[in-house]
Amino acid sequence: MRRPLVEHVAMHLRVPRGHAGFWQLIQRAAEQGTFTLADIVGETNVHEATVADYVKRLVKAGYLAVDHVEAVRGIRHGRYHYRLARTSRDAPRLARDGSAFPETATETLWRTMKMLKRFTVSALQEAASTELRAIPRPTVQRYVRHLAEVGVLARLKAGGGRGHEAEFHFVRNLGAEPPRILRTHLVFDPNSNTVLGQPEAKEVTP
């Protein structure tokens, strides 16, 4: 009997670790002292250049420091050994020059949901928006819908006529990092009922 396509996706999909995942690996490696780029790359399923880019940002921002450079034959500039110079519970969100990025709309919505506990889309939008940045209502609606579909939010009452919005209750606190909405790209062969190659998942804006 053939498995449904969704089961094949679940079996083969590897969600990209992203900066949050890299930061967790870096903190874990730093507990043992110094570490190299290869130590982090070896625990991920992404290209070395992707991890190297984030490490460079962390160095520029002062979160990491070069402890020493090991002379290695075949490596022109040697192998860099890093140490943790500054701690942070959450993964630093940094531009390439090391400057901090502002909070994303998803992060703001997630933080606001946890504070409000119960809310409508309108109430959440108002609480999460500021004079400097207003979060569009469609963005709030899509994020709420996705979280309600997987049980992170519970619908307390359905919206009725005009002026009566559905109310939601925050029921599953998954942690500091907001749930991310991913879009998956894959090649599926219906002849063999298998997924070909490695599926790729990318985050999309709600």
Residue 150 to residue 101: CA distance in whole angstroms:
29
pLDDT tens digits for range 101-115: 888 899 999 999 999
Identify the CA nearest to 60 among candidates 72, 71, 52: 52
Per-position DSSP letters for 26-38, written without gaps between them: HHHHHTTS-EEHH
CA distances from 25 to 13, 88, 112, 129 (A): 20, 13, 28, 33
d(CA 196, CA 87): 40
| CATH fold for the domain made of 103-206 | Arc Repressor Mutant, subunit A (1.10.10)
For 1, 10, 98, the CA distances from 7, given in Å and listed in that order, are 13, 5, 40
Please state at what angle helix 121-128 crosses helix 137-149, rounded to 10 degrees: 120
Phi, psi values for residue 162, rounded to 5°: -60, 135
Q: Are 120 and 165 in contact (CB under 8 A)?
A: yes
* pLDDT tens digits for range 126-160: 999 998 899 999 999 999 999 999 999 999 876 65
State mean pLDDT over 5-17.
Answer: 52
Alpha-carbon span 50 to 77, nearest angstrom: 19
* pLDDT tens, position by position, 84-97: 999 998 889 899 99
Segments of the chain assigned to CATH 1.10.10.10: 18-84
Q: Estimate the crossing angle of helix 105-116 against helix 121-128, to 10 degrees.
A: 120
Average confidence (pLDDT) over 59-68: 96
How confident is the model over 25-36, as pLDDT tens digits?
999 999 989 999
HSE toward the beta carbon, residue 34, CA cutoff 13 A:
11
Q: How far is CA 190 from CA 6, 50, 184, 187, 200, in A?
A: 13, 33, 17, 10, 19
Fold for domain 18-84? Arc Repressor Mutant, subunit A (1.10.10)
Contacts of 18 (CB under 8 A, 6+ apart): 203
End-to-end distance of the chain based on CA atoms, in angstroms?
A: 36
